[in-house]
Structure 1
Amino acid sequence: MRFTDGYWQLRPGVEVLRPRDIDSVEAGDETLTVYAPTAPITKRGDTLNRPLVTVTFDAPADDVIGVRIEHHQGRRDPGPHFAVNREPGVVKVVTPAAPGEGPAELTSGGLTARVSTDGEWRVDFVAGGEVLTTSSARSVGLASTPEGDFVHEQLGLSVGEHVYGLGERFGAFVKNGQSVDVWNEDGGTASEQAYKNVPFYLTDRGYGVFVAHPEKVSFEVGSEVVSRTQFSVPGQTLQYYVIHGPTPAEILRRYTALTGRPAVVPAWSYGLWLSTSFTTDYSESTVMSFVDGMAERDIPLSVFHFDCFWMRQFHWCDFVWDPATFPDPEGMLERLHDRGLKVCVWINPYIAQRSHLFREGAEKGYLVTTANGDVWQWDKWQAGMALVDFTNPDAAAWYQDKLRVLLDQGVDCFKTDFGERIPTDVVWHDGSDPQRMHNFYASLYNKTVFDLLEEERGTGEAVLFARSATAGTQAFPVHWGGDCESTFVSMAESLRGGLSLSLSGFGYWSHDIGGFEGTPDPAVFKRWTAFGLLSSHSRLHGSSSYRVPWAFDDEAVDVTRKFTRLKMRLMPYLGGAGAAAAGAGLPVMRPMVLEFPADRTAATVDTQYMLGSSLLVAPVFGESRAEYYLPEGEWTRLAEVAADGLAETVSGSRWVTEEHGFDTLPVLVRPGTVLPVGARDDRPDYAWAEGVTLRCTRLPEGFDEEILVPGGTGAPATFRVRYESGVVHVTSADAPGEWSVENDGKTVRATGPGEVAL
C-alpha cells in the first residue's frame, strides 16, 4: 500500500506519525525497548497530547532479531499467528547511560540492531562490521488513512541489491520495482495474483525479512521509495524479523528453522504422476487404458491421480465415488496397487449443498458461518458450497474421518486443491480475525490432511499435492504451481513462480507438465516434459484434454520414457537433495543466486536452475534453441541428455547458445562433483545405495569429502572420496552390495565395505 504522493507529500486523507526523538531506552530480559515520541521533546509540555512509538527488539534465535513497532497496545488480538520456533542463543544488550550518549544495541549471534539515541530515528542492522540495511528517519510510520490505520516500516536497499521471494510469484523473479500484496488468490499463473503468498523476502546483501502477519501485508519493493523496501499491515502493531545470512542459503536455513522445515516425502512420490485431467470423460476403463498404455510403452508410472469428477457432479466434496463411473472403487484401487501404483484423489475444503455432508456439517456446527449464524455459502464451483471451519478441532477431526474412509479403501495421498478464496465476512469458531484467516486457512487445511496421512501412513510416507500456502505451509509438501496455459511463455512463468517459492522456504515444487489450460502442441509438451521430469516432482495433468504422451506424437512417447527413466536413475542424488530440504531448508530446485551468490549475472537469471547443488538444468523454451548462463568453471554435460556434436565440457563465466533436439537439453554437472547415480530406472522407490555409481567430475587436487547416499527403500551408505595426484580413492565402511566409481572415462567396481582407487 502506498501512503505518499511522490517523495514529499502524503496521499489525500493520509496522516503519518513518525518517531522523532528518543525518550528512553530500557534493557529487559534479553530485550531492548525504545520509547520514541513523534516530535522532539524539549520541555515537559511537549509530552502532552503527544503519541509515542514503542519499538521492542528481541532475539528468538542466533542471527535473528525481532522488531515490534507499536502504537496503541490495548487492541484485542484474536489471532491467528504464525508459529515462530524460538531457540535463543547468546544475546547481548547494551544501553547508554542516557539518550544521546551513544547507541543502544541488541546483538544476536553475528547480527546487531544498533539504535541511534541522538538525532533522527535510525536503526542499523549490522553484521561483520557492515551495515546490511537501515530503518531511517522516514522509515517507521503510524498511518491514518481513509482505509483505516496502518503501521509501516521501510528498510534501505543498497546499490545493486536484489530482492527475492514473497511466495510463488509468476512475474519478474527479482522483485525490485514491484508492488506486492500478500493475499492469497485463485488467479492462475499469468497475473500478479498468487496462490502461495509468503510475507518473507531475502536479498543478496546478506539478510532476509519475515513479516510475521498472516493478514494482508503490502510490500513496496523499491517502488514507493526506490531506495527502500516498505512493508505495511493494518492496525496498530507491526512485527518483523531480520535474519542474517550472510549467504542466501544460510538465510533460508535460519528462516526455515524459525517457521518450519519441509517434511521428508516418500521415495515413490518422486516418480511420474499421471492424472485423468479435470473435465475430461473418464471411468475405470479409461484409467486402466492409460495405465496399460504407459506400461506397454515402457514408461515407468508411480502415481495415478483422480481429479474432481471421481465424485458426482454437484456433490463436491462428499468423498463418495461416482457409482456410474466407478461402481467398484475398492476393487479398482486394488487393481491399481497390483500394478505397483500409488493412488491420489482430488479434494477441497468446500462442502456442496447437495452433499449429505452439508447437512451433517451444518447440524454439528462444523461449517463457517456469517455474523447472524447462517452457514456461509456461495455457488462458485458447485452449488451452495460451504466451507469447513478448521479452527474447530471437532470439525477438523470430522473432516479427517471422512478422508480416513478413502485411505481404508486404498487411497494413498490427496491433492489438496483450493484454499485461497477464503471469505472475510464470516465468524470463525475460535474467534479468529477473518482478515488474518484468509491466508492462514491454507496452513490449517493442509496441516489437517497432512497430519492424517502421517497418522495413518507413518512419518515419511505422507505427501500432498497442494496449491494454496503461506508462511509455514512448507512443512506440508508437495506444492504445485496452479493453473497455467499450454504455451512456452507459461512454461517460463511457471518456472519463475517455482524459483520465487523456493526462495520463500519451500523445498519441493511441481507444475502441470504441458500446461493446464488448453492443449499444448507437441513441441510445448515435449519441452515441458523434460523440464517436468527434472523438477522435484513430476505430474502430467490438464484441464479439458488428456496428457498421455501418445496423444501428441511418437516422439513425445520417447521423450517421456527417456526423461522418466533418467529421473529414476538420479534418485540417489535427488534423495540427497530432498534430505537437504528437510534437514536444512534448502530447496531441491534452486535459483542460480542461491548456489552462486557472488556471481552478479547469476543474481538475475530466471530461465534455468540448479537441481540440487550440482546439476544445472536449462529448459528449452522453443523448438530447438537453448540459451543459458554458465558460472565460472569447466562444466561437464550429463551424458544421458547430451546433444550430438556438442563438446563434452563447457567453460563458464558466459552465456551459451546451443541447438537441441527434443530428447536433449542443457544439463551440466558442476566441477568438483561426485554424482551418485542409481542402478535402476524403472521406479523411484528402490534401495538407492545398492549398485550405486559414483561419477567423479573434474575433482580438484586435494578433494576430500564424504558422500552420503540416502537409503530409499534400503540402507544408506557413506563414501569418502579423495583425489590426490590424479588418483581417486574411495572408501566405505557400510556400502551394501555392489557399487562403482567412474572417473575420466574409467570405471572400477567393488562389493561391500572397502576401498578402491582409479
Structure 2
Amino acid sequence: MSSFPRVLWLVLILGPAVLVVPSTDAKAQSHTLESNQLVVTVTEDPYSFEVRAAQSGTVLLTHAATSFRQGIYAQNVRAAYDVQVQGNVLTAKLDLAHLAHPATLRLSLPRERRATLTLDHPFPDASIQVAFADKGQHYYGIWEHTHGGDLDNRGASHPFVGRDYQHEQVYAASIRAPFYMMSNGLGVYAETQAAGHYSIARSDTTQFRFQTGKLTYHLLYGPSYKRILREYNRLAGPPDMPPLWSMSSIWWRDDHTNIPEQVDAANAQELLLRDVQMLQDYRIPASTMWIDRPFTTGEWGWGGKTFASFFPDPDAMAQTLRDNGMHLLYWITGRTAHTLKEPLRDRGLLFDGYTEHPSGDLRQTEAYLYYKDFLDSLASDVQLADGQTGVFGYKIDRGGEREMPDSLINTQVTLFNRAAHEQMTAHHGDNFFIFARSLHDKSRRWVAHWNGDPRDNFQALRTSIKNSLRSGLMNFPMWGSDIGSYDKNPSKELLLRWIGFGTYSPMMEFMIDGRDRWYYGGDPQVIDITREATQRHHDLIPYTRSALHHAHRTGVPVMRALLLEYPTDTTVSDMWNQFFYGPNLLVAPVSRKGVEERDVYLPEGRWLNYNDRTSVEQGNRTVTEPAPLGTVPRFVREGAIIPRGDILEANQSWKTDWQPRLRIEVFPARSETTSFNYYTGRVVRPITSRVTNNGITISFEALDHDGRLEIYVDSINRVIRDGDALSDSEYDYHAEQNRLVVPFSGDTTVRLPGATSIF
C-alpha cells in the first residue's frame, strides 16, 4: 500500500546548528492510507496531502501549506522524510526551511470516517498554520457571531480568542469552536484550546493558525452535515442534557434594587416575589427566576459570601419559589471582587494587571478549588426546608473582557464552566441548570448558552436569529437570547416579535426591566401574547426535550438551519430567517419592523400550514403568509410527528387538578413510514406512523404519561385501538380539520383501516 523512500542524507554544518536535508529521487514518493470511507495520500517532496472519498473518488481536501512560526520567522514545511507506515498510521519528519530541528507528523485513520493529523514542533512557544485549497464550497461553524456571510463564513478573517468584541448589534455573542463543515462533505476540527485565527476562502485558500507547538486536527467525513456533526459530537463530547424544568420560561431583572414605580415593593426580595406572583396572576407558565448582581455583600455586588441586606431572608425567598414550582438561579463570573480577590492575589494566583477585577488562574489546582469553595459557600447560604441548597444553578457572565491574557481565555472559561457544573452536581445531581455567555468548544459538556447583550432594534433581533443557527452548527443546542433586547426600552412591537422568536428557542428567557409599563401597567396585548407564547413553548416541552436528547446523542441541533435538512437545495445554503425547530416544525419569525405578512420558502415535499391545520402546500416554492403581531408562520412537513402536552407543573397553581398529560400530533404521509424518537427522560421510545394499502397504523410503547393522539387523516371508517374497535363515543373526529382524537394509555397501537393522508 506504500513504498519507503530511498533517502541519501546530506549533512550541512551551519554555525552551531546542524541542518538535515533529505534528498529524494526525482519522482516524488507518495504514501496512501485507506478506510472504507476515506483515502488519504501523502506526497513527500514537496510535502502535501490529498483526501478523497473512497466510494466516489471525489477530492474532498487538498493541502496547500503548513508552516511553523518561531519568533518572527515563519518556516514552511518543504518536505516529509523518514516516512514510516504501519497499518493505518503514518509518521514522518517535516523539513523546515532555515531550522535545524524538524517537526513531526503523525497521520492516522482511527475510524472509517475520520483522519487525524498531529503536528509537533520541539519549540513549545511556536505557532502552527495550516492552509487548504478553497474550491468554492460553503463553510459553516467556528464563530457564533457573523464575520462573513449570514451562515456561510466565506470571506471571513477573524481571531479565535474569545474576547468580547464590541459588535454593533449583539455584544459578546461568543460561542466559538475550532470546527467547521464544508458543503463538499468534510468537517475540520482542531482539537485545541489555544488562541488562533481563521481565514476562510481568501486568496484561494482556507487556513487556521494556533499559538501552540503541538496541534491535533481531525478531518471528519459525512458526506452529510448530520453525519459530520455526529462524528464531531462523538469526538469533542456531547452537550449537557438540561433538566426538564429549564425548558419552561425563565425570568429575571438586571437589577432588583431598581424598583419601578409601577410595582409596590419595599426591597429587592419583595420585587422578586412580586414578579413571581405576577406570572401566576397572568397564568404565564414559568420555572425559573434568576438574580443578577448586585445581590451579595461587598464591592461590585458580587464576591461576598452572603446575600446583601436588600435580600433580607434568602431562605424564605428560595422556599417561596420552590413552593410555587420555580427554581432560584443567580449571576456569577470568573471575575474577582471582595472576598475573592485578595486571597488569590496573596497566593500569586491572580492575573494582576488586567482589569480592576481580574480572574484567578484556574489552571492552578489551588485557584480552581478556591472558586469551587467560594461558590459552595454562597450556595450554602440559601437553605430550603428539606436541608438542600435553594440555589439550582447559575448564569455565568463575562470571561472575555481582558480579565486575563487573550491566549488563555479559551482555557479559562472552560475551566470556570466546569467548576460551576461540578459544584452544582455535588448538591443537586443532574437537577440544576447553568448557562453562560462565553463558551469554547467543550464547554458544551457543562453549560448552556445565551447570546450576550442584544440592542433594542430589529437588526439585533435578526442578528440573534443568525446567532442561534450558527451556534447549532457548532453543536451548542441549548440556546436562548434576551427577549426584547438587553436594553431597558424596547418598542412594544420589537418585544412581541422577539417573543415570537423566543417561543421556538429551547431556552425562553425574559428580562422584566423596562417592561413593567406593559406587564404591571396591564397592557392586554402584551399580556395576552406573552401568555399564549409561553403556554405554547411550555406545551412543546415533550418535543423540545426529545430534540435536545437527540442533540446530546448525535450533535444535530434543535434550532436547525434549513441546510441541515435540505443540503442539496442551493436556495437554503445561507438562509437564516426561517429554520426548523426540531425535525418537523418549520418556523419563520418576523424580524422586520412594520411587517404584517412575510414570505416563507417551502423546500421540496408537501407541507401543512400549522397555523390553520387545513392548507396543504407543494414545496420548492415561496408562499406569502399573514403574520400580525403574535403570529409566527409555521409549517409541518408530510409525515411529521410532534409530541406536545403539559408534563411539567412548574408554577401553574391555577391548575388545581394538574396531572401530566401528553398530546401527540401525527400527520401521516401518503405512502411512507415515518417515526419520531420520543425521549421520556429515561429512555427513547419511537412513535411510528405506518401507511399501507389497508390504512394507517400509529404505534408506540408506554411513554410514561397517558394522553391523547391527534391524527390528521381523511376518510375515517373504523378506529381500532390495541385490537378493539372503538365506538363513536370513544373517539372524536373533527371533519373540518380532518383531526381524529383518540385517548391512549401505556403501550398503544391505533389502526385506521381505509384512512388516507391529508397530504
Q: Same fold (TM over 0.5)?
A: yes
Contact 1:273 1:539 in 2 (8 A): yes
Match of 1:604 among 569, 574, 585: 574
Aligned twin of 1:300:
285
Match of 2:736 in 1: none
Tell me if the contact between 1:232 and 1:238 (Cα under 8 Å) persists in the aligned partners: no
Measure the CA separation in 1 of the matches of 2:240 and 2:26: 47
Q: Show CA shifts across 1:533-587 (max 9, x none).
A: 2101110127776697456832111111111111121111111101111111221
Q: How far apart, CA to CA, are the structure 2 residues paired with 1:750 and 1:553?
A: 40
CA distance in structure 2 between the partners assigned to 1:547 and 1:412 by the alignment? 30
Query: What is residue 751 of structure 1 aligned with on the other side?
Result: 745
Contact persistence 1:346–1:414 (CA under 8 A): yes
Give SS of 1:265's match. Answer: coil
Change (3 A) 1:499 1:694: same
- Give the superposition deviation at 1:435: 5.6
Task: After superposition, give the CA deviation of every residue in 1:49-101 in whole Å (9 maximum; x if it has no partner).
Answer: 896799xxxxxxxxxxxxxxxxxxxxxxxxxxxxxxxxxxxxxxxxxx98947
| CA deviations over 1:398-417 (Å, ceiling 9, x no partner) | 22222223433111110011
| Range with greater deviation from structure 2 (101-110 or 612-621) | 101-110
**Aligned counterpart, 2:369:** 397
Contact 2:162 2:406 (C-alpha < 8 Å) held by counterparts: no
Report the CA distance between 1:129 and its aligned residue.
Answer: 2.7
Q: Select which of 661, 668, 691 maps to 1:723.
A: 691
In 2 relative to 1, CA 43–51 (structure 1 residues): closer, same or farther, beyond 3 Å? closer
C-alpha contact (below 8 Å) 1:631/1:652 kept by paired residues: yes
Amino acid at match of 2:30: P
135 and 684 in structure 1: CA distance in 2 versus 1, 3 angstrom threshold: farther
CA distance in 2, matches of 1:51, 1:533: 64
- The answer to whether the 8 Å contact 1:513/1:541 transfers is yes
Alignment TM-score, normalising by the size of structure 2: 0.78
The aligned counterpart of 1:589 is 559
The 5 Å alignment of 1:314-713 reads: 314-352=299-337, 355-363=338-346, 365=347, 367-369=349-351, 375-376=352-353, 378-379=355-356, 385-408=357-380, 409=382, 410-423=390-403, 436-459=407-430, 461-541=431-511, 549=519, 553-622=523-592, 623=594, 624-639=596-611, 642=612, 648-679=615-646, 683=650, 691-703=661-673, 705=675, 707-712=676-681
Identity %: 24
Q: How many angstroms does 1:739 deviate by?
A: 3.5
1:132 deviation in Å?
A: 4.2
Q: Taking structure 1 as reference, are residues 587 and 441 closer, same or farther at Cα in structure 2, changes over 3 Å only?
A: same
Contact 1:179 1:219 in 2 (8 A): yes
1:110 match: 37
Kindly tell me: are residues 388 and 42 of structure 1, through their superposed partners in 2, closer, same or farther at Cα, counting changes over 3 Å? closer
- Kept in 2, the 8 Å contact 1:290–1:548? The answer is no
Contact 2:144 2:173 in 1 (8 A): yes
Paired residues, what number? 647
Matching residue's letter, 2:621: R
Pick from 241, 258, 261 the counterpart of residue 235 of structure 2: 258
Q: Taking structure 1 as reference, are residues 184 and 605 closer, same or farther at Cα in structure 2, changes over 3 Å only?
A: same
CA distance in 2, matches of 1:343, 1:257: 33
Instruction: For residue 179 of structure 1, report the CA deviation from its aligned partner.
Output: 0.6
Contact kept, 8 Å, 2:198 with 2:209, in 1: the verdict is yes
Which residue in the other structure is 1:141 paired with?
67
Distance 1:193 1:562, change over 3 A: closer
Task: Name the CA shift for 1:684/1:494 in 2 (closer, same or farther; >3 Å).
Answer: farther
Give me the whole-angstrom Cα distance separating, in 2, the residues matched to 1:684 and 1:392.
42
User: Deviation at 1:471?
Assistant: 1.6
Q: Confirm or deny that 1:180 pairs with 2:106.
A: no
Paired AA for residue 740 in structure 1: L
Q: CA deviation at 1:175?
A: 0.4
Distance 1:291 1:722, change over 3 A: same
Determine if the alignment matches structure 1 residue 269 to structure 2 residue 246: yes
Structure 2 SS opposite 1:169: coil
Q: Which runs of 5+ in 2 are unaligned?
A: 75-125, 260-267, 383-389, 714-738, 753-759
1:241 to 2:218 alignment = yes
* C-alpha contact 1:728 1:743 (8 A) present in aligned 2: no
* TM-score (normalizing by structure 1): 0.78
| Consecutive unaligned residues in structure 1, runs of 5 or more | 1-23, 27-33, 36-40, 55-96, 370-374, 380-384, 425-433
Summarize the Cα distance change of 1:53–1:700 in structure 2 as closer, same or farther, 3 Å threshold.
Answer: farther
Instruction: Give the Cα–Cα distance (whole angstroms) in 2 for the partners of residues 291 and 498 of structure 1.
Output: 28
Secondary structure at the residue paired with 1:151? strand
Answer whether contact 1:740 1:747 (CA < 8 A) is retained.
yes
Q: Is the 8 A contact 1:306 1:345 kept in 2?
A: yes
Residues 1:392 and 1:753: Cα distance change in structure 2 (over 3 Å): same
1:169 aligns with 2:138: no
Pair 455,128 (structure 1): closer, same or farther in 2 beyond 3 Å: farther
* Partners of 1:441 and 1:165 in 2: CA distance: 22
Shift, 1:656, TM fit: 2.8
Letter in 2 for 1:755: T
For residue 739 of structure 1, what is the aligned residue in structure 2?
708
Assess if the C-alpha contact under 8 Å between 2:269 and 2:317 holds in 1.
yes
- Aligned to 1:206, which of 154, 177, 185? 185
Q: Deviations over 1:223-252 (max 9, x none)?
A: 2x1x32111234555432111111111111
Closer, same or farther in 2 for the Cα pair 1:519/1:457, shift >3 Å?
A: same
Distance 1:303 1:182, change over 3 A: same
| Distance change (3 Å), C-alpha of 1:169 and 1:50 | farther
CA RMSD of the aligned region, Å? 3.4
Contact 2:304–2:339 at 8 Å: present in 1 too? Answer: no
- Tell me the SS of whatever aligns to 1:302: strand
Asked whether the equivalents of residues 277 and 544 of structure 1 are also in contact (C-alpha less than 8 Å), the reply is no
Cα deviation code 1:513-532 (max 9, x no counterpart): 00113421000000101111
Amino acid at match of 1:233: F
AA in 1 matched with 2:334: P
> Could you tell me which residue of structure 2 aligns to residue 85 of structure 1?
none
SS in 2 for 1:105: strand
The whole-number CA distance in structure 2 between the counterparts of 1:689 and 1:106 is 59
Aligned twin of 2:201: 222
Following the alignment from structure 1 to structure 2, what is the Cα–Cα distance between the partners of residues 301 and 329? 20
Report if the CA contact (8 A) 1:549-1:560 is conserved: no
